[in-house]
Structure 1
Amino acid sequence: MRAVQMLATCGVALTIATAANAQEVDWKKVDATLGKTAAVSGEVHRYGFPRSDLQVTVDGVAIRPALALGGWAAFMPMRGEAMVMGDLVLLETEINPVMAKLLEGGIEITAVHNHLLRANPETFYMHIGGHGDPVKMAEVIRSALALSKTPFNPPAAAPIPAPAIDLDTAQLDQIIGAKGTVNGGVYQFNVPRRDPITESGMTVPTAMGSANAINFQPTGGGKAAITGDFVIIGDEVNPMIKTLRANAIEVTAIHSHMLTEQPRLFFVHFWANDDALKLAKGVRAALEKTAVAKS
């Protein structure tokens, strides 16, 4: 009984400490530094840096930012400071100046690679991480992205509204086994893994990039271009890519995004443009090769 009471007391103390950490961060200053309002999910404050300035095509499909050009940085309170993780979308000529500024400011580079094949212009993805004062880290990220053409200011003219999702989203939800959301003309799924993922002793929430991300962009006639990434462990890699290829879904990259996560993870990126329901069944078959959370 005494042990139970001690555990309960520790649990309350941990909850209070976590809440205190969240309160210690002045999120309004982080918002002001980045010039954006965060999307808040639990303790995670996530900021989007979509490359709306780029006109990227793959196999003749114009890529919407929400499909594959949505850079971001997410902050979470950590032991009185904050942890940051992110994914910055860059052109080849932007990689070195942005990297130099990030490293100079103490932000770690955890990966640089492609997500797509045959993208025109070619795009690259710089994954970042760090721990420290969230305002200072935001300043570094902002100054680094200023060396790219990543937009921060609102467009001079009102943006053209995204078209309606011309897909059977109820059927997609049923096949994938999760509820999708609409974002910028793209239907998106985030399917978490069954077991927790940790980095530096902290659980990495789905809002910080630990979930399977599956995006459908309508291309007309019930078809969709799909891309995203599956978050899997080593033993799942080859069964998954065989399943994707058997379902006419191209594997475009296999790599890591983090450095010291547990368990060791690999991110499998994919692409196809075909009947949306057919592709959803292929995606579902691939998910079944992994340890995903039950919906």
Structure 2
Amino acid sequence: MWWTHIHGMGDPAHLAQVVRAALDATAIPPAAAAPAQQPAIDLDTAGIDNALGRRGSADGGIYRFTIARNDAAQDSGHVVPPGTGVNTALNFQPVGGGRAAINGDFVVTAPEVQNVIQALRRGEITWSNCTTNSLTDEPRLFYMHFWAVDNAVALAKALRTAVDATNAKPAQ
């Protein structure tokens, strides 16, 4: 099992206790403390940033981008903050020689799906699946997962075309 999506409304402390009880019923270990110093990212991060037109951040040896949509998502009439996962996520894991294994997901609307697929295919990036996480979201959002291993900057250029095919917030 890779992902389990949950939904809850109410007292934050009570919701946290319920989620904690659910996690305790699994084999998921508790979160580890963040290392005092981030491991070096053996990639041309400036080239990746330039290709994507925004700055990534190091996180445990992964170089990642979190890109919010320009439209506000709602679910059951409630605004869904970008921090709850309605962002495009791009992850670069160094594998040596300037190459990266990339994965993540694009958060797209139905009219954006084919344009993102075409952009990924042109960049020789495999999209593995397209899912929904809610039955009542507005706009209706789909999550397109992808994967590739190649030159990190070349992959970033291909991902930029796919990002530009979505209603992503402009880089700041």
By the TM > 0.5 criterion, same fold?
yes
Q: Deviations over 1:8-56 (max 9, x none)?
A: xxxxxxxxxxxxxxxxxxxxxxxxxxxxxxxxxxxxxxxxxxxxxxxxx
Name the amino acid aligned to 1:216: F
Q: Which of 1 and 2 has higher RCO (CA within 8 Å, sep 6+)? A: 2
Q: Deviations over 1:95-117 (max 9, x none)?
A: xxxxxxxxxxxxxxxxxxxxxxx
1:213 aligns with 2:89: yes
Q: Which residue of 2 aligns with 1:27?
A: none
Q: Which residue of 2 aligns with 1:255?
A: 131
1:140 aligns with 2:18: yes
Q: Deviations over 1:229-256 (max 9, x none)?
A: 1010001111211220121101111011
41, 46, 61: which one pairs with 1:185? 61
Q: CA deviation at 1:134?
A: 1.5
Q: Which residue of 1 aligns with 2:30?
A: 152
Secondary structure, aligned partner of 2:104:
strand
Counterparts in 2 of 1:138 and 1:192: CA distance versus 1, 3 Å: same
Q: CA deviation at 1:268?
A: 0.3
State whether residues 69 and 168 of structure 2, in contact with CA within 8 Å, keep that contact through their aligned partners in structure 1. Answer: yes
Secondary structure, aligned partner of 1:267:
strand
Runs of 4+ aligned structure 1 residues displaced above 6 Å come to 158-161
Residue-pair matches, total: 171
Matches of 2:106 and 2:87 in 1, distance apart?
A: 8
- Please show how residues 6-155 of structure 1 align to structure 2 within 5 Å: 91=1, 124-152=2-30, 154=32
Q: Which residue of 2 aligns with 1:223?
A: 99
Q: Which residue of 1 aligns with 2:157?
A: 281
1:201 aligns with 2:83: no
Secondary structure, aligned partner of 2:65:
strand
Matches of 2:83 and 2:157 in 1, distance apart?
A: 25
Structure (1 or 2) with the larger CA radius of gyration: 1
Q: CA deviation at 1:159?
A: 6.9
Please tell me the root mean square deviation across aligned C-alpha atoms, in Å: 2.0
Q: TM-score, normalised by structure 1?
A: 0.55
Q: Percent identity?
A: 44
Secondary structure, aligned partner of 1:207:
helix
State whether residues 178 and 191 of structure 1, in contact with CA within 8 Å, keep that contact through their aligned partners in structure 2. Answer: no
